[in-house]
Amino acid sequence: MDTFEIGDQDFLLNDRPFRILSGAIHYFRVHPDLWADRIEKARLMGLNTIETYVPWNEHSPSPGAFVADGALDLGRFLDLVADSGMHAIVRPGPYICAEWDNGGLPAWLFTDPTVGVRSSEPGYLAAVSSYMEAVLALVVPRQITQGGPVIMFQIENEYGAYGSDKAYLQHLVDLSKRLGVDIPLFTCDQPFGTMIEDGSLPELHKTGTFGSRSLERLGFLRERQPTGPLMCAEFWNGWFDNWGTHHHTTDAAVSAAELDALLTAGASVNIYMFHGGTNSGFTNGANHKGIYEPTITSYDYDAPLSEDGHPTAKYFAFRDVIAKHFPVPAEVPVGRVPAPASTVSVSATTPLLSAAAATSLATSLAPGAVPPVEMTGQYRGFYLYEVSLPAGGVLSFSEVRDRAQFFLDGVPVGVLSREQGERAIVIPGGGRLQVLLEDQGRVNYGQRIGEAKGLIGPALLNGVEVLDWKVGAVDLASLDAFRTTALPLPAGDVDAGVGGPSISFATFEADGPRDRFLRLDGWTKGNAFINGFNLGRYWSRGPQRTLYVPGPLIREGANELAILELHGSATREVSFVVEPDLGPDEK
């Protein structure tokens, strides 16, 4: 069998020096029918390795579960990497950051307030151990030492930016080895302060994460690790976007020059991201460095391979740099061709709040203070609070996580937004209060990982606590209940629009699977679905103006579009357009 080891100055593949030229592809952000295409395009750029995170919360949506099929078939993804003749690096966390919901940690884990976060607390370690056993059952047989593609395995992720619990790191190392990992273990941290030391152990190979000043960063790393190969485990060649800002881009020539400097210095590299993909559904994370900033649906990242899988100027600039140092394949991937364009009008709609049965809303009585949404057993998406108020006045909360729409006897009375720091709203009178709460994404970085969502009490009406709330989860896993209650919209001008909160439906024809780009000009905020698949969130504040529709979601013949609109639209029409629009950049 093959071997992969860490030498005094180089990585050693079968005892010969080997340079890792890796690109990040998150299988969980890409439709599984497109995995092979994205992997092949990495090979054509000159890469020899594919790196991926593993999202614990996605694989384990509930305690004791581990889902590893379909879009979460990590084994199949690694097998496709092997079939392409490439190697693989696996980074299972358990914390991954990745601008992913809760940094990949399952929200159910923290419903027990005694459980630690990224520490050697026993309850946390027990859960981590169970997760790692499931992951390594897939990874260990696919190590290069057993004929597979996996050459390295990461311990935690940028842990030095969070903590320095050596017992926790040692537990992960011991567990990995006990479960059969015999390839190099490594850590990655930013080359600043004491992060590299805090986030690793003496026996682990240390790598850096950065996107500029490559020689300076490599020098910092070498000072702290005098021997062994230099590696940038995350070469940040782009960046992510949050709602309400511009679309981040980096100059292809500047990024390519940094890559050239890194390779000229003899370092190995993992390009983060090679192909970003999409935060479909409710999977996006958020940052909170004093201001809550949820990440948008697109994770294009201004990467060499675009969100819809086509080479960019950066792809060819990077390919040219790699060709200066290593052989690259002669073949190049083709560019994007215009996607099918059309206009579709929604023809039926149903109110989101009017009937509990229609929304599969399960309510449970909280006998005391306003409860967090986690008590529903659903950890993402939308929730409905209900309470009877004896009178109107000022209703306030300790915090709103993350966006709450208030309705008094079915009439909208306002919105409280975490982004705006809002905590109080005037309720015009007594009656039945409903609050539609949107979890806009759990914080994925820093000390707020693991926090509860919902209306954070006490809830005070004119200074007096409001008790006996009901809270339920809006189940969007299936749209059947909404579809059966949808009523036809009256014939008339498409400019009549659609009221919200509601779910509206349309049918459109297609001649078969092919990528599309959905544009929702005139709509305000919500989620869009194709044939029941949740494409992700849209929002008129931008920056992104289109949602990517992976071709495999489209069927030949009739297809269904559903739109969950929270506020109201100025039109009943949506458009499929020829190319993506991720919004204006900062230039």
For residue 86, give both structure tokens: 């490439």
Determine how β-strand 403-408 pairs with β-strand 431-438: antiparallel
- Check if the beta carbon of residue 553 is closer than 8 Å to that of residue 518: no
DSSP letters spanning 127-195: HHHHHHHHHHHHHGGGBGGGTSSEEEEE-SSSGGGT---HHHHHHHHHHHHHTT--SPEEEEE-SSTTH
Closest alpha carbon to 271 in 319, 330, 308: 319
DSSP string covering 103-115: GG--GGGGGSTT-
Whole-angstrom distance, CA of residue 517 vs CA of residue 261: 37
Answer positive or negative: Cα dihedral of 516, 522, 526, 531.
negative
Phi-psi region of 363 (alpha: psi -120 to 50; beta: other; left: phi over 0): beta
Distances (CA, A) of 190 to 55, 159, 198, 206: 21, 9, 11, 10
Task: Say which of 99, 156, 234, 419 is annotated catalytic.
Answer: 234
Coil/strand/helix, residue 75: helix
Backbone angles phi, psi at 120, to 5 degrees: -90, 20
| Distance (Å, whole) CA 314 – CA 299 | 16
DSSP 483-524: HHH-EEPPSS-GGG--BSSEEEEEEEEEES---EEEE-TT--
Residue 223 annotated in active site: no
Structure-token match 């969950």, residue found: 564
Spell out a b/e string for 323-337, using b for 16 or more CB atoms within 10 Å of the CB, else e.
eeeeebeeeeeeeee
User: Does the annotation mark 234 as catalytic?
Assistant: yes
For 410, 436, 438, the CA distances from 413, given in Å and listed in that order, are: 9, 12, 16
Question: CA torsion sign, 474 to 477 to 483 to 484?
Answer: negative
Which residues, listed in sequence order, are joined to residue 388 by a DSSP beta bridge? 432
CA 442-480-476 angle, to 5 degrees, is: 5
Which of 51, 158, 293, 307 is labelled catalytic? 158
**Two tokens at 133?**
């056993």
Catalytic annotation, residues: 158, 234
